[in-house]
Structure 1
Amino acid sequence: MEYATRLNAYAPAPTAAEVDAEVARIRAIAGRNHNAEVYKFCYSAIDLTTLSCNDSVQSVTEFARKAAEFNLQYPHIPNVASICIYPSFVETVGLAVDGTPLRITSVGGGFPAAQTFLEVKALEVAMAVENGADEVDIVLNVGRMLTGEWDEAANEVEAIRAELDSDVVLKVIIESGALRTPELIRRASLLSMLAGADFVKTSTGKIDVAATPEAAVVMCRAIRDYYEATGRRVGFKAAGGVRTAEDAALYYTIVEETLGREWLTTDLFRIGASSAANNILSSIEGREVKYY
């Protein structure tokens, strides 16, 4: 399908100066969300992540069981939204969290570089879902984005979306730190949504520049404009570099200010995190917590 021409229906991206001004405005008011209620919600929006070369069936099983048993120790805090792992561990997590509401998120499509054959990407995603993944996080082809191959990048997303049933959540990582400019970040977000993404996500966490408030503002504005044009709500996920409760509250405030409180549900807002889980728990409890 042709996607590049459909971008003409949308306004251009804000300038870098406009983005900086908006981030400064939101930082100035984000303190209102430095409270236990917001931190509890942010914790419940976490895709609890382990994506390490050291992952094993044993380590992932222990990790998932900790998440599954969380509410035995902290019944007053809503549990994380999902556990995010490499596709080969989907079945492992499924066994560990069976009987709980926890969802299973698998990265896929040649994560994190997405530099493999489209057929391999589609097959990997299909296998992850067959093994029990409820959600799949793939990476938009950054190389194609940087060379202006808009249609080719979006058609890869469309082909992968076609492998999934409608109830499987597809999150598309635009790797905003590699795209850098507001215009490319906006284009990548809109192309992903036009091609069928249920979420747009900032980063893989595998390059030097991960989630930034500036990228989040551009992405959330794109989500808002897409919703106004189509009536379809797409979620936002911040991942990579979200380490503290204050970091999480800043992204919460960006979503609140740009998209409105109707986006502040775990169906439309997620945080990809590992170390942030303990830090947010510590802020909620008012003492150091090392649960994970």
Structure 2
Amino acid sequence: MDNQTAEHTTHLPLVTEPRNPGMALNLDWVRAVQANTSAVERRAATLPGRRSVKKDYQAAWMLKAISCIDLTTLSGDDTVGRVRRLCAKARQPVRTDMLDALGMPGLTTGAVCVYHDMITTAVDALRGSGIPVAAVSTGFPAGLSPFHLRVAEIEESVKAGAHEIDIVISRRHVLTGDWQALYDEMRAFRHACGDAHVKAILATGELGSLRNVARASLVCMMAGADFIKTSTGKESVNATLPVTLVMIRAIRDYFDRTGYRVGYKPAGGISKAKDAVVYLSLIKEELGDRWLQPDLFRFGASSLLGDIERQLEHHLTGHYSAGYRHAMG
């Protein structure tokens, strides 16, 4: 592979993994899935205290986190200028002198995530960088627009140049236990994506129970999801460690049975570098090192990068700088 080709494929999702083709809906497997809420919460509560890394090791984990960030802007007041600045930040997430001192020149974020209207702007701003553009779709964030329009929205976003599509599922299918409807919906979304990779947003804060989260995760993977994602970032409860534990164990079970690796994306509420390190440590313990690559793990975040950059400057200089020194653009 020549250097130019490598540059354009390094950051694309699942390049080194066979893509999850999905499988027939197995309702016996789905209905057998349970979640011991108290045990999950106990396990999650131990993580922040037990998994603490310092100095060079901490800096290395934070640099890893940067490479896995879907740098995101999903606001009604997004402008072309804001998206261009965000893309510039994705290309150069940390000051050049700091990256050189840390031995990581050329580090970029994992992707940039925008609404459909901003896809063309983001694609143009990221041209030649190898950083993919992700677009939220299917009536994001509620997912309540007519079904044919949700499918058409995916197709239009792919046509506009999005490499990844973040879709939202219909929560009512989960809440009523209509797993066939959820499977059929997800299967249609996957088909509409074509070669673009699809992240299924479960909106876990609205699913009612960890058991529902586990079953919805499994059904979406059976229908061919390339990633499962916690939240839109617009719910009252977004990514949490208990939800993460349930979802990544579903990913592990699916891999054990099918041999296909599915990615994971926690989104919403992760804004501190120390929290990112905890999530990465959980992924390492439960899924292994292979899932610590941006083709299989992403943070959906906007403010997280600023705090990581601030912590890295402290690591290099021994001093904390003001937050405004690490703006998104």
Q: TM-score, normalised by structure 1?
A: 0.94
Tell me the distance in 2 between the aligned counterparts of 1:71 and 1:211. Answer: 25
1:32 deviates by: 3.1
For this pair of structures, how many residues does the alignment match? 290
Task: Determine if contact 2:68/2:294 at 8 Å carries over to the other structure.
Answer: yes
- Per the alignment, residue 18 of structure 1 pairs with 39
- Per the alignment, residue 188 of structure 1 pairs with 216
Which amino acid in the other structure matches residue 7 of structure 1? W
- Per the alignment, residue 39 of structure 1 pairs with 62
Of residues 107-116 and 22-31 in structure 1, the stretch that sits farther from structure 2 once superposed is: 22-31
Task: Determine if contact 1:199/1:268 at 8 Å carries over to the other structure.
Answer: yes
Tell me the distance in 1 between the aligned counterparts of 2:50 and 2:26. Answer: 37
Pick from 137, 145, 148 the counterpart of residue 177 of structure 2.
148
Of residues 147-156 and 225-234 in structure 1, the stretch that sits farther from structure 2 once superposed is: 147-156
- Per the alignment, residue 226 of structure 2 pairs with 198
Give the secondary-structure state (helix, strand or coil) at the position aligned to 1:272: strand
Tell me the distance in 2 between the aligned counterparts of 1:291 and 1:102. Answer: 20
Q: Give me the CA root mean square deviation.
A: 1.9
Tell me the distance in 2 between the aligned counterparts of 1:51 and 1:7. Answer: 36
1:11 deviates by: 4.7
1:42 deviates by: 0.4
- Per the alignment, residue 89 of structure 2 pairs with 66
| 1:151-162 correspondence to structure 2 within 5 Å | 151-162=180-191
Q: Residue by residue, what CA displacement relative to the aligned partner does 1:54-85 show, whole Å, maximum 9, x if unpaired? A: 11223222322333344673544421011000
Which amino acid in the other structure matches residue 216 of structure 1? T
C-alpha distance 268-138 of structure 1, shift in aligned 2 (>3 A): same
Tell me the distance in 2 between the aligned counterparts of 1:180 and 1:255. Answer: 24
Task: Determine if contact 1:43/1:281 at 8 Å carries over to the other structure.
Answer: no
Tell me the distance in 1 between the aligned counterparts of 2:82 and 2:235. Answer: 24
Of residues 105-114 and 146-155 in structure 1, the stretch that sits farther from structure 2 once superposed is: 146-155
Give the secondary-structure state (helix, strand or coil) at the position aligned to 2:192: coil
Task: Determine if contact 1:2/1:151 at 8 Å carries over to the other structure.
Answer: no
Q: Residue by residue, what CA displacement relative to the aligned partner does 1:149-207 show, whole Å, maximum 9, x if unpaired? A: 111112111001111234x2211011111114111000110011001111110100101
Pick from 157, 165, 168 the counterpart of residue 136 of structure 1.
165
| 1:256-267 correspondence to structure 2 within 5 Å | 256-267=284-295
1:239 aligns with 2:267: yes
- Per the alignment, residue 291 of structure 1 pairs with 327
Give the secondary-structure state (helix, strand or coil) at the position aligned to 2:151: helix
What stretches of structure 1 of length at least 5 have no aligned partner? Answer: none
Task: Determine if contact 2:24/2:223 at 8 Å carries over to the other structure.
Answer: no
What stretches of structure 2 of length at least 5 have no aligned partner? Answer: 1-22, 315-319
Tell me the distance in 1 between the aligned counterparts of 2:282 and 2:169. Answer: 23
- Per the alignment, residue 7 of structure 1 pairs with 29
Of residues 179-188 and 43-52 in structure 1, the stretch that sits farther from structure 2 once superposed is: 179-188
- Per the alignment, residue 140 of structure 2 pairs with 111
C-alpha distance 188-254 of structure 1, shift in aligned 2 (>3 A): same
Tell me the distance in 2 between the aligned counterparts of 1:72 and 1:32. Answer: 23
1:3 deviates by: 2.8
- Per the alignment, residue 208 of structure 1 pairs with 236
Give the secondary-structure state (helix, strand or coil) at the position aligned to 1:283: helix
1:261 deviates by: 1.3
Of residues 205-214 and 146-155 in structure 1, the stretch that sits farther from structure 2 once superposed is: 146-155
Tell me the distance in 1 between the aligned counterparts of 2:261 and 2:109. Answer: 22
Task: Determine if contact 1:4/1:150 at 8 Å carries over to the other structure.
Answer: no
